[in-house]
Structure 1
């Protein structure tokens, strides 16, 4: 028995190496499969962002907003090769939102098909995958221009952008020599086809139908076997005589009631049934008589309604007065410029006296001395709805109160001569309050206010009045009267940074390097205060050089603070100027955060560095977007020197310039999570000042843009 046991043990012992080897090989194979199933981290990051900008649709099975394994978990529409994503096919999925803002890191992607969805509503993102062979964005809602990144896709063979609302072809196609299919049909493109189209020598299908293009197809493209030119390139069908040699017979003019649409089988399509034709004619006559009677009655009713509203408007105008910006002044005639020396001193209602204001309204058309500044003046309007006004402690509003008559007098009836600017929220006028007091009065657009404007405006004023920082534009007072809503700020003689940099008046000294750093540091401190000191934190949402005002000593003062809720996101994105400051994630989702403010701040720093506008259509296409043009050069010393504003004439410390560029690069990173908080940006600029021995104390000397004769500024 012992021998048997010993033999069994020896046999088992002999099997151990074989079993161990098999187990080891199995584990190795399993680990190999797991490694190959893991998706590249860059691809995962890009697809997570893409899923987020699509509003996390449930129809994309297995997709997640963070991490995940697209290749190993079989995300819907994703095809991989090894650990890299090579195709994304999501046509007709009912998707909303936009493409991801960092899809350029999908470097192995060769096909992207998101056709027949509802993506867009804005420009196509410029960070597209760089090595695509097929790109299909057909039947979406993309607007604007083609992204520059398309011109760099040398491997692209198929491009379908048909059935969108794209309006401009400003991309060079010289590098797209492999392109075989190009569909730009059913957009709003205008002008002529670019000459660079001729470089696409492999093209076999070109479709530019249903656009507003003009001119002829380039000669090199006329040999394309499948060509669908825009109708303006040949005589328009609407203006040319009908062809008699057409392969299909011309349509017969219908004599039927259009509503029938030949659905009655007893009526021939050629109209050869005389009895039916006669019946149809009688029916048409009766319908025509009824329609005429209906039109006459409608016109009578409409005329009565118009007369009623005209009479009503006149009576209301007599009660309420008119818009002080129009030719309907409340109580005063337009003041000529020669009478400015007769300006009276304006009596300002102090905050402590607000509680004693009367609750009745004087309607004698003379400037009321005591009124309820926060009630509606439309009580005589039967359609007016009662607005529940929140209880606001007026004594907490640290600002003066003006009447419309006061501000009308100070601005010469809001004359064009006193108009100093117009922004997203309304026009701004220069107001001479007294001999030694000048204000900038912002007249808020009524369209920017919600349905309960009085309540909202007072709440806005209460919040703005709480700001207290030397680099924020200071609120002096406000007016809420006769349906007008005005804010009065301190007037800054040197205007905006945008005008200082980009609108030369011929007699202004250019900004020195020291002053550019000072303006950047002061603006950064303003944002730091809003983001990290205010509670709750405040997002500016409209940070740009035209909202940075400069005082006599070129200290910056950030304006439009606290206005983020006044205008919807989409309206802030409409202009070219705003698009230059807009962070990529804002373009994708329309949502603003502190990080999007930091991106906009980086763009302003680029303006200070280069002297260029954030977006400039006068530049060649690759240079129109300042960030797109400048960012790749920020870490190249030689290129950086070439980017610097020529107005500086080389007068800047090289190390200071390099550190300034480093701060910019951090702020304008496409991924918001990698941008530093404003407190870190402030510290980097403070260190820059200290290391460059520029001094930590600002000079008290006057450095006026227009009146200082010195060639440089100190700080």
Structure 2
């Protein structure tokens, strides 16, 4: 990824020191013993490569803290990273399944986990590891994958996440053996992913995700969508800055055109990527598919002219969804995708607007041909006159929303 600078690195060091100090404060006897024996200097405590001792985490809930695991502990829970424990592989490295409990460390609650191991031959792995620890270590939200812990021992870099039983959205949409996702599930997944992005964009210090795609949207046992893989995330512009200038990174087919051309990154770049994923949910097609005729290989190029045309719009809906949705719901979802994919970044909606637009399409709101279930004949929230519905077209306000939509849970920064 691009230059993360030292801000992320310093944040990881500081966070590690804070966790260590918290544990020592909660165990004064151990603290006194450590002082007496001078077993660990202050530089040891602030060094993220210093392994934490097992007894330091007694009675500390894994749901409140990011745990510094030892390499031995992670080898134990993955059976020495056995091949049949592999969940998947990516640019960062290999992901293994595991299970933590009190047998691993006293005080840990029983929990299945996913352990991601840095590929030592990768060029960007360490920086991406730092970025993930920095962002996911601070952010908590129901639609972000929870970072449980990490390991930074010698040249080993690992991350431990909550285990997501249903795997990636990509597999559910495009794997040939997968059961087709119903319309209701697709709209629910779109809403959950939108809430995750809205949380990042509306955080006290905004975060740009930069790699929003179906393979990075994971599903739990209830098909709740959660964003994962924050290795390419960037801190958003601050003060009078309008964008972040960075080396172009991401995935072909999802990246916003202005970002690809200029390297100027904004929250609206994520909105474009969301539009691509929403289009994949609506059509059942991949963003880039070389197996299709040349004119249909780029999903956006193929679908965009039809999205705002009532007569052709239903031609792009996944044929596997026949009879599961109302024409009205399809029009609204396609109209939302159309605006998210605008080549003019300022014409794209905010992610908080996207959340509010998707809310009426959940449950009964997406299946009926009349009211949306919220008592509004238009099927869209009022937004106090800042957005109007004309026919099936949604007009979004161009000015930022001063506060997060009530539909978006508050993003807590620890």
Question: TM-score, structure 1 length as denominator?
Answer: 0.40
Aligned length: 310
Is 1:504 the counterpart of 2:176? The answer is yes
| Matched ranges for 1:543-622 at <5 A | 543-561=212-230, 563-564=232-233, 572-573=249-250, 578-622=251-295
Task: Please list the CA deviations of residues 23-42 of structure 1 after superposition, one character each: whole Å capped at 9, or x if unmatched.
Answer: xxxxxxxxxxxxxxxxxxxx
Match of 1:430 in 2: 97
Q: Would you say the 8 A contact 1:350–1:401 is kept in 2?
A: no
Indicate the SS of the match to 2:356: helix
Task: Please list the CA deviations of residues 28-72 of structure 1 after superposition, one character each: whole Å capped at 9, or x if unmatched.
Answer: xxxxxxxxxxxxxxxxxxxxxxxxxxxxxxxxxxxxxxxxxxxxx
Q: 1:538: how far off?
A: 0.3
| Matched ranges for 1:465-476 at <5 A | 465-476=137-148
Q: How far apart, CA to CA, are the structure 2 residues paired with 1:550 and 1:665? A: 25
Unaligned runs of 5+ in 1: 1-348, 361-369, 378-394, 697-715
Match of 1:683 among 356, 360, 365: 356
Q: 1:494: how far off?
A: 0.6
Match of 2:160 among 485, 488, 491: 488
Distance 1:591 1:571, change over 3 A: closer
Task: Please list the CA deviations of residues 236-266 of structure 1 after superposition, one character each: whole Å capped at 9, or x if unmatched.
Answer: xxxxxxxxxxxxxxxxxxxxxxxxxxxxxxx
- What is the root-mean-square deviation of aligned Cα atoms in Å? 3.2
Q: Would you say the 8 A contact 1:373–1:480 is kept in 2?
A: no
Match of 2:78 among 401, 404, 411: 411
Indicate the SS of the match to 1:579: coil
Q: 1:603: how far off?
A: 0.3
| Matched ranges for 1:34-433 at <5 A | 352-353=22-23, 358-359=39-40, 374-375=48-49, 398-433=65-100
Match of 2:113 in 1: 439
Q: Would you say the 8 A contact 2:71–2:153 is kept in 1?
A: yes
Match of 2:330 among 638, 654, 657: 657
Task: Please list the CA deviations of residues 303-334 of structure 1 after superposition, one character each: whole Å capped at 9, or x if unmatched.
Answer: xxxxxxxxxxxxxxxxxxxxxxxxxxxxxxxx
Q: How far apart, CA to CA, are the structure 1 residues paired with 2:336 and 2:184? A: 16
Match of 1:541 in 2: 210
Q: How far apart, CA to CA, are the structure 2 residues paired with 1:423 and 1:354? A: 37
Question: TM-score, structure 2 length as denominator?
Answer: 0.67
Q: 1:376: how far off?
A: 7.3
Distance 1:488 1:695, change over 3 A: farther
Is 1:478 the counterpart of 2:153? The answer is no
Q: Would you say the 8 A contact 2:248–2:260 is kept in 1?
A: no
Q: Would you say the 8 A contact 1:359–1:372 is kept in 2?
A: no
Q: How far apart, CA to CA, are the structure 1 residues paired with 2:268 and 2:228? A: 19
Q: Would you say the 8 A contact 1:351–1:398 is kept in 2?
A: no
Q: Would you say the 8 A contact 2:248–2:263 is kept in 1?
A: no
Computing the radius of gyration from Cα coordinates, the structure with the larger value is 1
Q: 1:402: how far off?
A: 1.3
Match of 2:343 among 664, 670, 676: 670
Is 1:633 the counterpart of 2:310? The answer is no
Q: How far apart, CA to CA, are the structure 1 residues paired with 2:68 and 2:317? A: 46
Match of 2:193 in 1: 523
Q: 1:457: how far off?
A: 5.6
Identify which of structures 1 and 2 has the higher relative contact order when contacts are C-alpha pairs closer than 8 Å and 6+ apart: 2
Q: 1:437: how far off?
A: 2.4
Is 1:448 the counterpart of 2:124? The answer is yes
